[in-house]
Every structure is written in structure tokens, then in C-alpha cells.
Amino acid sequence: MASPNIETIVSLAKRRGFVFPSSEIYGGLGSAWDYGPLGVELCNNVKQAWWRWMVYERDDIEGLDSSIILNRMVWKYSGHEDTFSDPLRECRECNSRFRADKLEDEQSEASAAEQRKTEPNFRALVPRGAWFSAGKIKCPNCGKVNWTDEKPFNLMFQTHVGATAEDDESSLVYLRPETAQGIFINFANVLTTSRRKLPFGVAQIGKSFRNEVTPGNFIFRTREFEQMEMEYFVKPGEDEQAHQEWIDACHNWFTSLGISASNLRLYEQPKEELAHYAKRTVDIQYRFFPERDEDERQWDELMGIANRTDFDLRTHSKKPEDAEGKRLNPDSTEDLSYFDEANKERFYPYVIEPAAGVNRSVLAILMDAYSEKTNNKGETRVILKLHPSLAPIKVAILPLAKNKSEIVALAKSIKRSLQPSLRAVYDDTGGIGKLYARQDEIGTPFCVTVDHQSLEDEAVTVRDRDTWEQERVKVSDLQEHLLNRLKT
Ligand code: GAP
């Protein structure tokens, strides 16, 4: 089973120290979350798994860590200054502002479901804004129907660099809304220093910022989040096959981390949804909203895999000219084209971009790992069946009698001997049943119990999180035993 809804995970995450509402002692800050002791471990494990898979296990990918604040020209030529916006409507009665397309989707859903029965594609046939024009969309805040016209709201956070006045246009900069542009502007640097030939990719993990009009659903949509992006540069003409290979590889990566294939699906973005740079984009969607009646509304984007063509390298290059011979980018000092030695030809590589969110991945992983089991007393226990490589803690060492100093000493020495190779904790703050339940709920794959007999036979009991089966293992074999079982 998976979590029945996001709320179940919100409550578990706060109770056990995965995720806390940010700035809570001052009343919080809309859609900002802090990752607690277990949350930071889980995020780090997801990022390490991605980096290992993307960079270390392949021969054709380099890593990069570019600045969050870039020259404003990057966002001018990438198209973000002009087009990176959401459609906004304001309620004239209470001045609340909403993302118009989402509001229309939500409130038209009941009639949409009816109409879909006879016309499956009807959503594409009804023009955006039709429900607003028909006076059918109510303000979620005050319930009135009195809207301003729709206008674009740019999602980039602005700030100023240096000790300049707030209104000094020349000091205006943005917090990056995607990590990708840092890769494109470093294309020539990475190419020359790594002496790569096409096809090759550059991977980056880092924070991005978007002033979302309506963030929400816990860590699903926030204004500050982390992305794991890779730009894979290929020869034009080889882009379509590479794109399909990355779609399949990314889907397999999520299932290799234990996410059930039945909770993942591929979504082909229709033409009208494609970003200005994309030739084709396929999203991997996760069933983030299983509680919704209509299957179609249960899914939302976990990651996107786009074919960005040569748009980015071309737009940041000084060379391309318009029909009158005028440079399209008079501000760039570099040409980001590629010279193919074998065929003696120069061109702008196409780019395939697998782009995932760390936080959305963490949410999907938590939801999918959630399960419940009834013990022999008829009590329901939560088990977080995290893939061992992602589990924040790999093993908990539990003394059966905390008032027996030899048992405590042995348990602590076992913990110390394991911790250089495994994330291990020692816990004696409750009865054994309670300690097991706590570790099950945070996804610890193994508990090791030290008891009276351990003092005589130098063996301990290893308990499996998922089956609750126990086996006796010699202390001298314990590390190897655990490392072997964690590999599976
Ligand atoms: N460079 C392409 C790009 O940024 P995107 O689909 O806008 O594409 C990629 O973002 C991924 O980043 C999304 O699939 C999602 O996982 C994550 N993401 C985007 N906006 C987010 C937000 N406001 N909160 C949390 N994650 C977000």
C-alpha cells in the first residue's frame, strides 16, 4: 500500500522529525518548510543516489555547481524575463490573487467529469478562461464572482546586488528559477576543460526559487526548492532517440528506488503546454492525490524530460544573426557552438534535459514507502518501507535492559563500531516494542537487540523492518551481515 493522501505524510513528517513548517514560532511563512534530522538525511540520500546514478555510474556526464545569482542577461536571453509567468487573476471584492488556470481546472472539474464521459478530449476544446467568462468561477476566499482580467505574473524573485538603491535598475538580479541556465552558460568551459566529445552531459543539483502564485500541498509546490537537472548535449538529428532513452532511464531510476510502477505514469505534454524552448516534453507523473475520485486528477508532475533543441546554446551565443545581419544576442562574448572534428562541421548541439525536484521526489518516496501492518495485539503499526539506500538511519542498536550496565556498554560499543560504515543510532528511551515501532515508522531497515544472552554468546538479534523476522548473528559478523543485506 502507499499513503492514502499527503496529509498522512505531513503528520508523520512532523511527528518524527522529517519536515517542520518553517518559521513556526513566528506564525510560519506560507509554503516554506524546514527539513529536520531525518529529513535532511533523506534528502541527502536522494541527491547522492541521483548523483551516483547520473555521474559516477556513467562515462558521459560531468558535474557542475553554478551560482544561484547570475548576470541578469542570462534570464533576458533565456526568455525567462518575458515568458516565465503564470496567469493571474485578482478578486475585485477581497483582493485575493490566484493562479487562473489552476482555479479554472479545480472548479470546472465536476462539470468536466460529466462532459468527459461523452467527449474525452473536451478540455482541449474549451478555451482557457471560458469558465471565468461564464461567471462560474467563485473566489475561494470570499465566494464572490468579480474578477480582474487575466494578466501574466512573472515568477522570478528579484533582488539587488551591491550597496545600491532599491530602484536602481542596473543592480537588479534574480534568484535562479532553474539550475539549467548555469549549465548552458558554462557549456564552453566544461567542454574545453574536460575535453569531451558529443554526446555528453552536465549534471547539477541545487536550489531554485519561484514566486509561485499558489504554492501548496506540503513540499509539492514551494517557493524555494531543490532541483536535480542534467543537460545532455547531442548532435541534431540524434536528439529524438536520446530523448526517448532518457525518458525510459528516468522511469527506471524511480522504480529502482522502490517506487511502485503502478503509481508512476508518463504524460506527453500537448503542444499548447510546451515551454517556448521545447520540441517535446514528457513528464513522469506520480499519484500524489490518490484520495481523489477521478483517476485523471490523482496525478501530478514528479519530473520533466524535455527536448530543448538548440534554443539555449544558440540564444546565449554572440554569433547568430537575423535576416538583416544583426546579432540576435549583442551582449554575449562567446559562441557556444560545437566543432565536430570527424565531419568538419560546426553546429549548436541539441539538449535533452531530465529535470527532477528533490523535494517532490522525497514526497513521492515517502508516500510510496508508507504502509500499515497489524501486530498480534491487533494494533496498527506504520512501516515506512524505504529503499535501504534512502533510509535516513540504517540500523538502530537497542539494549533490552537499560539498567544493566554490561548490556548498555556492549550496545554502545556495537553502535560505535558500526557508525564509520553505516548510519547507526543507539536508543534506550522506551520498552522494546515502542523502540521497534519508532524505527519502523522512520524506515530503519534493521534493529539490533542486545540482551542478557549476548553477554554470554557474543551474538545479537537482528530484526527486519518489513517482515519483523528475527535472526541471531555473531557480533563479529554483524557489520558484514548488515552491509550485505543493505545492498539488496
Ligand atoms: N529546467 C527545467 C525545469 O525547471 P520544471 O518542470 O519547471 O522544469 C523541474 O521543473 C522539476 O522541478 C519539476 O518536475 C518539479 O519536480 C520541480 N519543481 C518545479 N517547481 C517546483 C516548485 N515550485 N516546488 C517544488 N518543486 C518544483
pLDDT digits (tens, 9 = 90+) for 311-336: 999 999 999 999 999 999 999 999 99
Of ligand 1's listed atoms, the one at least distance from the Cα of 220 is 25
Element at 288 (helix H, strand E): none
Of ligand 1's listed atoms, the one at least distance from the Cα of 222 is 24
Closest CA to 74 of 161, 234, 160, 183: 183
Residue whose grid cell is 529536520: 36
Task: Tell me if the pTM is above 0.85.
Answer: yes
Positive or negative, the Cα torsion across 190, 194, 198, 200?
negative
Of ligand 1's listed atoms, the one at least distance from the Cα of 179 is 1
Closest CA to 440 of 378, 343, 373, 488: 373
CA contacts within 13 A on the Cβ side of 241: 6
Residue 75 has pLDDT above 70, yes or no: yes
> Which one of 360, 361, 363 would you pick to mutate in the ligand 1 pocket, going by the greatest count of ligand atoms within 8 A of its CB?
360
Pairing outcome for strands 200-209 and 61-63 = parallel
Q: Which residues line ligand 1 (CB under 6 A)?
A: 178, 180, 210, 212, 221-222, 225, 227, 229, 301-304, 353, 355-357, 359-360
Protein residue with least CA distance to atom 22, ligand 1: 221
**103 vs 283 pLDDT, higher one:** 283
Give me ligand 1 centre to Cα 167, in Å.
Answer: 30
Pairing outcome for strands 446-450 and 459-464 = antiparallel
Neighbours of 300 (CB within 10 A): 17
What does the pLDDT average to over 113-135? 69
Q: Residues 6 or more apart from 257 whose CB is under 8 A from it?
A: 46, 49, 365, 387, 389, 390
Helix, strand or coil, per DSSP, at residue 271 = helix
Of ligand 1's listed atoms, the one at least distance from the Cα of 229 is 1
Give me ligand 1 centre to Cα 379, in Å.
Answer: 40
Give me ligand 1 centre to Cα 36, in Å.
Answer: 22
Residue 35 near residue 363 (C-beta atoms within 8 A) = no
Give me ligand 1 centre to Cα 289, in Å.
Answer: 18
Give me ligand 1 centre to Cα 226, in Å.
Answer: 8
Instruction: Give the model's confidence band at 117: pLDDT under 50 very low, under 70 low, under 90 confident, else very high.
Output: low
Closest CA to 398 of 383, 380, 414: 414
Q: Buried (b) or exposed (e) across 433-470, using 16+ Cβ within 10 A?
A: eebbbbbbbbbbbbbbbbbeebeeeebbbbbebeeeee
Helix, strand or coil, per DSSP, at residue 476 = helix
Positive or negative, the Cα torsion across 418, 423, 428, 434?
negative
* Residue 7 grid cell: 496529509
Neighbours of 488 (CB within 10 A): 7
Give me ligand 1 centre to Cα 101, in Å.
Answer: 17
Give me ligand 1 centre to Cα 124, in Å.
Answer: 24
Q: What are phi and psi of 125, to 5 degrees?
A: -85, -20
Element at 221 (helix H, strand E): none
Instruction: Give the model's confidence band at 13: pLDDT under 50 very low, under 70 low, under 90 confident, else very high.
Output: very high
Instruction: Give the model's confidence band at 453: pLDDT under 50 very low, under 70 low, under 90 confident, else very high.
Output: very high
Per-residue confidence (pLDDT) for residue 86, from 0 to 100: 93
Report the C-alpha gap between 9 and 2 in whole angstroms. 10
Of ligand 1's listed atoms, the one at least distance from the Cα of 215 is 23
Protein residue with least CA distance to atom 17, ligand 1: 357
Average pLDDT, rounded, for the chain: 94
Per-residue confidence (pLDDT) for residue 241, from 0 to 100: 98
Report the C-alpha gap between 14 and 442 in whole angstroms. 11
Give me ligand 1 centre to Cα 419, in Å.
Answer: 35
Report the C-alpha gap between 131 and 45 in whole angstroms. 44
Strands (E), 41-127: 61-63, 85-90, 97-99
CA angle 171, 172, 176 (to 5 degrees): 130
What does the pLDDT average to over 165-188? 93
CA angle 470, 474, 480 (to 5 degrees): 90
Per-residue confidence (pLDDT) for residue 210, from 0 to 100: 98
